[in-house]
Amino acid sequence: MNNYYKKHQKQIEDLSYKPRLLLHVCCGPCSLYPLYYLKDHFRITVYYTNSNIYPIAEYDHRLWELERYLDALDAPIELVMPKYDVSYQKRLAPYAFEREGLRRCAKCYAYRLKDSYEYAKTHNFEYFSTIMSISRHKNSDYLNYLGSKLEEEDKGPKFLFADFKKGNGESLNKQFNHVMKLYEQNYCGCLYSK
């Protein structure tokens, strides 16, 4: 089995300068530790491609909380928000009644990673990745597999492997939110998880 945490550490050790990283971020509370840690290694642009979040008021709420954290971080991190896609829920509809973590989520990870990859490629980023592996509800192996496939198939930006919950990441992330007190949602995002 792949140890993506170790692969990530090796990638960081091998850096000789701060490359540009397009980082998919799903919400503020999941981004606390990953952004704090990664900002010392990369020039980061946060990419908020999250049309999976339903309804749009919730999408906006999570975005505001993320912006609140970026302000507090006071680091040169850009934020890019693609247009909210109202048709996104329809794409997940064939798997509406499956429990979380199965095909609906696999599709949802793939859509958002592909979108991140395309943006990173078009805008000449050296790396792309996602912070979603901070959550124990997300399949980190599958996220890393998808990211590495995109890189391999197209030879565009490199995928930054990650399992942010490891190396005490999950606990640090929780501790950060004791200070920041960002809104923590009680469902993953889509209509079906709500």
Under the rule (CB under 6 A), what is the footprint of ligand SF4?
52, 92, 100, 104-105, 108, 188-190, 192-193
Nearer to ligand SF4, 176 or 192 (CB): 192
Closest distance between ligand SF4 and the C-beta of residue 187, in Å? 8
Distances from the Cα of 27 to the Cα of 67, 125, 189, angstroms: 10, 22, 10
Residues 6+ apart with CB under 8 A from 36: 73, 176
Note the Cα 175 to chain centre separation in Å: 19
Closest distance between ligand SF4 and the C-beta of residue 10, in Å? 28
Nearer to ligand SF4, 132 or 182 (CB): 132
Q: Which of 99, 113, 193, 97 is nearest to 147 (CA)?
A: 113
Closest distance between ligand SF4 and the C-beta of residue 189, in Å? 3
C-beta atoms surrounding 88 within 10 Å = 20
Closest distance between ligand SF4 and the C-beta of residue 104, in Å? 4
Nearer to ligand SF4, 169 or 189 (CB): 189
Note the Cα 136 to chain centre separation in Å: 13
Nearer to ligand SF4, 46 or 92 (CB): 92
Nearer to ligand SF4, 51 or 125 (CB): 51
Closest distance between ligand SF4 and the C-beta of residue 147, in Å? 15
Provide the β-strand partners of residue 2: none
Cβ proximity of 29 and 184 under 8 Å: yes
Query: Which residue is associated with the tokens 């990664």?
Result: 38
